[in-house]
Amino acid sequence: MPARLPHTPVAQGTVRFVGATLVDGTGAPPSADAEVEARDGVITYVGPRRPTPVADGDGAARVVDLAGSYLLPGFVDAHVHLAMVPDEPETLRGWFAEESVLEVAAVLRSTLLAGVTTARDLDGLTPGYRNAVARGTTTGPRLHVAVAMLSPTGGHADPVRANGSLPAWATRPGMPPAGIVDTDDDVVRTVRGLLRTGADVIKVCTSGGVGSPNDEPGDVGLPEEHVRLIAELVAQRGGRPITAHALTDAGVRAAVLGGAASIEHGYDLSDATIELMLDRGTVLVPTLSTLMRELDPATASPERLRHRAALQRQGLGSVRRAVAAGVPVALGTDAGVHPHGRNLRELSWLVEVGLSPLEAIRAGTLRGAALLGLDEHLGSVEPGKLADLVVTDVDPLVAIDRLADDGVVRLVVQAGRVLDPLAG
């Protein structure tokens, strides 16, 4: 089954975006005084600014003058948790279901207006949000969803505390039970249930995690044979990519050998595992924004601060070696853990670990679209693709670290629809 393209409402008529410096997402050098024309939400012309107005069948095209600005493709964040809203867990527990839904809708909107026109939610959203965005019921990035992630009992996906209670964040209306799998039968039943629910991707945990109630990052997660079983199951049902939360080298190897298309985090990669990823074409989604998030020294213990600093050094070193070796990298932020609406901060971290600004932009656009199987439609500014665009007054090749600042994203265009982040 081809990757699902969750459509969003499409603008009708013709719009010409003229005068900007174009960074098209392919890795090509920027083009000054460019023009991008979109007709009924699809790009029909990319090239030098044309001197005369171009009319469509209904009359003159609308012209958006972007002189002095920079025009980029809409970004793809391949690792978000949009249902993780910024409030205290006990407050969330007391909300009505409608409050939760509307709060997530606000997060969806802020993510889109930050420049992310497509996102992959890797635990927390039902397909209902994907469908609502596609219908135009709410505004947000077009979505691929994992629905839930899989781990053994007591692993990263298991929210049950030692006394049997559930934390507030694990109480999610409309969501299936946590993906706890210990046997082959568990795997088959759970994966089939996720496919029935409408999952676009299967997320597995082949290591422990940070912040899990019952495990540590170095703990063993799903074994290679369970990842391979999942790969067989999804192949029988039309195909879905598998991605793996993996913090340890052993966890990454189990995922890659089992058939995962991508690795989330990857903070302890050996040279042998990097070679294995290169051989298999496995994509790394390092979520450096979350790795490098600073803890509050007023609330974190000295021991925790030391542990965090050590993990950051190790993680940056691991990703740097993977980048230097040529492992393909896609942008992912772990937004929800990382603040929502600051997704483009990840670009500067990708530059920090060795990508050029042009390569970082490609990682956040065309590479992410390819990972989701949507690069025929998204990820670059080329004729025939959907008109997903981001406009900024900041030169991304000089000050890429500023793209997440307030007010820097001037316009967002999704399938030809122009949204103004500054209008609120």
pLDDT tens digits, one per residue of 1-19 = 457 787 777 888 999 999 9
Q: Confirm whether 315 is domain-assigned.
A: yes
Number of CB atoms found within 10 A of residue 342's CB: 18
The answer to whether the CB of 82 falls within 8 A of the CB of 160 is no
Mean pLDDT, to the nearest integer, of 380-389? 98
CA 66 to chain centre: 27
The answer to whether the CB of 261 falls within 8 A of the CB of 242 is yes
Predicted confidence band of residue 166 (pLDDT cuts 50, 70, 90): low
Query: For residue 96, what pLDDT is reported?
Result: 87
Q: β-strand 262-265 against 242-246: which pairing, if any?
A: parallel
Q: Confirm whether 285 is domain-assigned.
A: yes
The answer to whether the CB of 15 falls within 8 A of the CB of 420 is no
Domains: count for the chain: 2
Q: Same structural domain for residues 187 and 68?
A: no
CA–CA gap between residue 154 and residue 166 (Å, rounded): 13
Q: Same structural domain for residues 81 and 23?
A: no
Q: Same structural domain for residues 23 and 166?
A: no
Mean pLDDT, to the nearest integer, of 300-320? 93
If one compares 301 and 228, the residue with the highest pLDDT of the two is 228
Q: Confirm whether 230 is domain-assigned.
A: yes
Q: Which of 343, 368, 398 is the last residue of a domain?
A: 343
Closest CA relative to residue 398, chosen from 350, 348, 362, 354: 348
Query: For residue 407, what pLDDT is reported?
Result: 94
Predicted confidence band of residue 217 (pLDDT cuts 50, 70, 90): confident
CATH of the domain at 53: 2.30.40.10
Q: Same structural domain for residues 82 and 68?
A: no
Sequence-ordered list of residues with C-beta below 8 angstroms from that of 124, at least 6 positions apart, any chain: 81, 82, 83, 84, 172, 175, 336
Q: Confirm whether 359 is domain-assigned.
A: no
pTM passes above 0.85? yes
Residue 58, pLDDT above cutoff 70:
no
Please give the share of the chain, as a percent, with pLDDT higher than 90: 76
Residue 161, pLDDT above cutoff 80:
no
Residue 209, pLDDT above cutoff 90:
no
The answer to whether the CB of 21 falls within 8 A of the CB of 69 is yes
Q: Same structural domain for residues 182 and 281?
A: yes
The three-state secondary structure class of 2 is: coil
Q: Same structural domain for residues 295 and 396?
A: no
pLDDT digits (tens, 9 = 90+) for 252-296: 999 999 999 999 999 999 999 999 999 999 999 999 999 999 888
Q: Which of 291, 323, 343 is the last residue of a domain?
A: 343
Residue that the structure tokens 């982040």 belong to: 421
CATH of the domain at 103: 3.20.20.140
Query: For residue 173, what pLDDT is reported?
Result: 59
Q: Same structural domain for residues 44 and 161?
A: no
Query: For residue 163, what pLDDT is reported?
Result: 61
Query: For residue 375, what pLDDT is reported?
Result: 97
Query: For residue 424, what pLDDT is reported?
Result: 58
Predicted confidence band of residue 37 (pLDDT cuts 50, 70, 90): very high
Q: Confirm whether 239 is domain-assigned.
A: yes
Q: Which of 33-42, 59-68, 179-188 has the lowest mean pLDDT?
A: 59-68
Residue that the structure tokens 């039970």 belong to: 177
* pLDDT, mean over the chain: 92
Please give the share of the chain, as a percent, with pLDDT higher than 70: 93
Predicted confidence band of residue 171 (pLDDT cuts 50, 70, 90): low
Query: For residue 175, what pLDDT is reported?
Result: 62
Return phi, psi of residue 177, to 5°: -60, 160
Q: Confirm whether 5 is domain-assigned.
A: no
Query: For residue 197, what pLDDT is reported?
Result: 93
Residue 168, pLDDT above cutoff 80:
no
Residue that the structure tokens 């990708």 belong to: 350
Mean pLDDT, to the nearest integer, of 108-116? 98
pLDDT digits (tens, 9 = 90+) for 362-382: 999 999 999 999 999 999 999
The answer to whether the CB of 144 falls within 8 A of the CB of 124 is no
CA–CA gap between residue 308 and residue 179 (Å, rounded): 28
How far, in Å, are 114, 154, 400 from residue 409 at the CA level?
Answer: 7, 42, 12
Q: Same structural domain for residues 273 and 403?
A: no
Q: Same structural domain for residues 67 and 100?
A: no
Q: Which domain holds residue 30?
A: 14-73+382-423
Q: Confirm whether 183 is domain-assigned.
A: yes
Sequence-ordered list of residues with C-beta below 8 angstroms from that of 272, at least 6 positions apart, any chain: none
Query: For residue 59, what pLDDT is reported?
Result: 59
Per DSSP, 422 falls in state G
Q: Which of 109-123, 157-171, 343-357 has the lowest mean pLDDT?
A: 157-171
Q: Confirm whether 168 is domain-assigned.
A: yes
Mean pLDDT, to the nearest integer, of 139-145? 97
The three-state secondary structure class of 76 is: strand
Predicted confidence band of residue 39 (pLDDT cuts 50, 70, 90): very high
Query: For residue 164, what pLDDT is reported?
Result: 57
Q: Same structural domain for residues 98 and 146?
A: yes
Q: Which of 343, 365, 397 is the last residue of a domain?
A: 343
Query: For residue 339, what pLDDT is reported?
Result: 94
CA–CA gap between residue 348 and residue 101 (Å, rounded): 32
If one compares 245 and 300, the residue with the highest pLDDT of the two is 245
Q: Same structural domain for residues 336 and 187?
A: yes
Per DSSP, 109 falls in state H
Q: Same structural domain for residues 39 and 91?
A: no
Per DSSP, 327 falls in state -
Mean pLDDT, to the nearest integer, of 317-321? 98
